[in-house]
């Protein structure tokens, strides 16, 4: 399972536990409420750990992409025909500024990184 899917699963479990906690508190069932409070704390710890793992992965991927010797902004025409561009430039990695990777790298426009000029 990838990290993004694990984050989604944890968020779903957390949401379900919070709803069950609210229902237990509405029924004034203290035993069940305490159980869900403990479970919520445990899930929040797992969630923080998984988010940290995802951040470390993004940072390491950004470092490896920045190591490529050549990069440049992609034109709108190149962005429109990405398949042709990727066939022409082997090893090309495209980074969009709105993705987590793009924000980490600080790119302002869609940028291509490659081992050779393209």
Query: Structure pTM?
Result: 0.75
Which residues of the chain form beta strands (DSSP E)? 70-73, 93-95, 111-114
Rounded average pLDDT over 11-29: 96
Residues 49 and 19 in one domain: yes
* Long-range contacts (CB closer than 8 Å, 24 or more residues apart) made by 50-57: 50/3, 50/6, 50/7, 50/10, 51/7, 53/3, 54/3, 54/4, 54/7, 54/100, 57/3
Q: Which residue segment(s) compose the domain that 24 sits in?
A: 1-66
Question: Cα separation of 14 and 89, whole Å?
Answer: 44
pLDDT digits (tens, 9 = 90+) for 47-68: 999 999 999 999 999 999 999 9
Rounded average pLDDT over 33-46: 96
Q: Model confidence at 108, in pLDDT bands (50, 70, 90)?
A: very high
Instruction: Output the pLDDT for position 79.
Output: 92
Residues 42 and 9 in one domain: yes
Instruction: Output the pLDDT for position 28.
Output: 93
Residues 55 and 3 in one domain: yes
Residues 72 and 46 in one domain: no
């Amino acid at each position: 399972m990838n990290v993004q899917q694990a984050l989604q699963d944890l968020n779903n479990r957390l949401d379900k536990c919070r709803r069950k906690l609210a229902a237990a508190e509405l029924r004034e069932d203290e035993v069940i409420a305490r159980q869900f409070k403990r479970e919520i704390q445990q899930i929040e710890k797992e969630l923080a750990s998984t988010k940290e793992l995802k951040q470390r992965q993004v940072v390491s991927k950004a470092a490896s992409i920045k190591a490529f010797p050549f990069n440049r902004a992609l034109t709108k025409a190149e962005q429109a025909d990405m398949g042709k561009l990727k066939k022409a430039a082997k090893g090309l990695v495209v980074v969009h500024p709105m993705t987590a990777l793009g924000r980490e790298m600080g790119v302002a426009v869609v940028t291509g990184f490659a081992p050779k000029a393209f």
